[in-house]
Structure 1
Amino acid sequence: MTESISGTTEIFGLIGDPVEHSLSPQMMNAAFSTYKLDARYMAFKVRVEDVSLAIGAIRALNFAGVNVTLPHKSTVIPYLDEVTPIAKKIGAVNTISNVRGHLKGTNTDFSGFIRSLKKLNFTPKNKVIAILGAGGSARALVAGLADAGASRLIINNRTAERAEKLVKEFSQFFPETKLEAVTLQTIKETTLDLLVNTTTVGMFSSGLPVDIMECREISILADLIYSPRKTSLIKQAEKMGIPSLNGIGMLLYQGCESFTFWTGKKAPEEAMHNRLLSLID
């Protein structure tokens, strides 16, 4: 990232609602700075009803690329020219490139999450995993965890029909993983190798998506929220001695892969990580 903005500066961004809490601009601009690229990354709040206008603006204003966050990861797809096979399977896009008006979408969430689990020496193979939520991030995790060999994935969503639809859709792609839409009570009664919160509960309040004190057994807990760094769910896990991680690792690694998708360069992981740590410590 150069120190001045010119007529040749490439613009990247994040679209979602809300975006005010996002650390992506600081992380991605640190990456551009490392390579001294003439580029800037900014966050743009886009309402649900304005998604088509926002995608049109990417073309009209010649943005080089964008990341997509809640609640638009699935709704952007019809407006793109091309979607990678993995993103099609997931049904959610979190990264879009713009090459001479051709918009290509992909998904780096699933691989970012799998990489983040290595911090706790966790591998999904033959594991029983519960996922809270059935939105774009949950879809990516279901695909990634099933592809990595999870034996059973149980999914709970506030709207049960949405979880049931996800299970029906993904069961055909991953027949060797048992996928189930379940109630919170079933999650509480199941011995879990990993519990993952993909909802926004805890981002703006002290609420809990589930009271893990009522759960039978949880080996590891992951909360995709990274701001605040310690949600009420993470704090509860720490009090109970359950190893846990927040969404910082997933944010870092999906960002690294987005950077490479846009630029063709290996992401400066250390610089991006250090920037994130400077913002959360």
Structure 2
Amino acid sequence: MKKMFGVIGDPIAHSMSPAMHNDLFGFYGIDAVYLPFHVSKENLEAAIKGLKALGVSGFNVTIPHKTDIMAYLDQIDPLAEAIGAVNTVKNEHGILTGYNTDGPGFVKGLASMDADLDSRPALIIGAGGASRAIYFSMAQAGIQRIDLYNRTAGKAEELVSSCPFKVQSKVLDRETAEKSLHEYQLIIQTTSIGMSPDLGGLPLSPENISRGAIVSDIIYNPLQTKFLGEASKKEAKIQNGVGMFVLQGALAFEKWTGIFPDTERMRANVLRNLGG
């Protein structure tokens, strides 16, 4: 019997997950299909009950449901519980378990660029949901110093104070963050600034980025934001958001099937869909 997987969100038509996962099912000879499900906030509880009743084997969760869905799951992985967001659900014998593969996927992508991440002082720009997943996952992975800059300092301070993992952190104002950028060997941009169509936006002045620093922007449309372009001019190593998207999907696929998939194949599929 063909297994069913999917992704729920609102909107959902733009999702590249169906193309990515259906290609993997074909590649690995798995009799399964991955479908997009448009689910509004008011229908979330009914949708989860319906997916469970239909025996859907697993599904991804995207905006705006990553937090609200937690109330309707049977079990939640400790990291997802700490982050306060779920993006992957596995159905095992009728038990729905929620995971967060966004943060671990991001960290796995960073590790492919530098195995010695824990000694690199890091700065995260932004304090939203993506920042929280990345910050907690980096702290859990043992990165020793992670500072934050956010336009609203209180939100960044709340993020730091709520982290259950041991890590050294300071919340910086804009002026301090820009002046001290040269101190950071790992700079992660998690806001929507620079995303299409606002291609000219910069979250911080990149003037003081150090040569050889790793600079990551989780945006993948465009594939190179202005911030990454400026970092490249400073001879930094740059990474766009394709890696995080691919690796969160790879970790979800592994949870569902037991197979860690070919991420280069996944990356090529995503880039084809982006036209890049």
Give the match for residue 101 of structure 2. Answer: 108
SS at match of 2:105: helix
What is the CA distance between 1:17 and its match in structure 2? 4.1
Which among 3, 10, 22 is matched to residue 15 of structure 2? 22
> What is the CA–CA distance in structure 1 between the aligned matches of 2:215 and 2:150, rounded to whole Å?
17
Whether 1:174 and 2:165 are equivalent positions in the alignment is yes
| Range with greater deviation from structure 2 (248-257 or 200-209) | 200-209
> What is the CA–CA distance in structure 2 between the aligned matches of 1:257 and 1:179, rounded to whole Å?
28
Name structure 1 gaps, 5 residues minimum. Answer: 1-7
| Contact 1:155–1:182 (Cα < 8 Å) also in 2 | yes
Give the match for residue 260 of structure 2. Answer: 266
1:202 to 1:11, Cα distance in 2 relative to 1, 3 A: farther
Root mean square deviation, CA, Å: 2.5
Instruction: Give 1:226-237 correspondences, 5 Å limit.
Output: 226-237=220-231
> What is the CA–CA distance in structure 2 between the aligned matches of 1:163 and 1:20, rounded to whole Å?
32
Give the match for residue 32 of structure 1. Answer: 25
Give the match for residue 189 of structure 2. Answer: 197
Q: What is the TM-score normalised by the length of structure 2?
A: 0.86
Whether 1:275 and 2:265 are equivalent positions in the alignment is no
Work out the percentage of aligned pairs sharing the same amino acid.
37
Which among 207, 226, 240 is matched to residue 246 of structure 1? 240
> What is the CA–CA distance in structure 2 between the aligned matches of 1:145 and 1:223, rounded to whole Å?
15
Aligned residue identity for 2:92: V
What is the CA distance between 1:130 and its match in structure 2? 1.3
Aligned residue identity for 2:246: L
Provide Cα deviations, 1:224-276, integer angstroms capped at 9, x if missing partner.
12232122222222233322101112222221111111122332434323323
Provide Cα deviations, 1:53-84, integer angstroms capped at 9, x if missing partner.
44334224433221123343223212211001
Name structure 2 gaps, 5 residues minimum. Answer: none
Which structure is higher in RCO with an 8 Å CA cutoff and minimum separation 6?
A: 1
Provide Cα deviations, 1:79-133, integer angstroms capped at 9, x if missing partner.
2110012222222211111234321101222221122113432532122211122
> What is the CA–CA distance in structure 1 between the aligned matches of 2:131 and 2:175, rounded to whole Å?
19
| Contact 1:132–1:209 (Cα < 8 Å) also in 2 | no
Give the match for residue 5 of structure 1. Answer: none
Aligned residue identity for 2:219: I
Provide Cα deviations, 1:173-230, integer angstroms capped at 9, x if missing partner.
233x212333232321222111112222333321435133344647221011223212
> What is the CA–CA distance in structure 1 between the aligned matches of 2:109 and 2:260, rounded to whole Å?
18
Whether 1:187 and 2:177 are equivalent positions in the alignment is yes
SS at match of 1:195: strand
> What is the CA–CA distance in structure 1 between the aligned matches of 2:47 and 2:193, rounded to whole Å?
26
Q: What is the TM-score normalised by the length of structure 1?
A: 0.84
1:137 to 1:86, Cα distance in 2 relative to 1, 3 A: same
Aligned residue identity for 2:15: S
SS at match of 2:221: coil
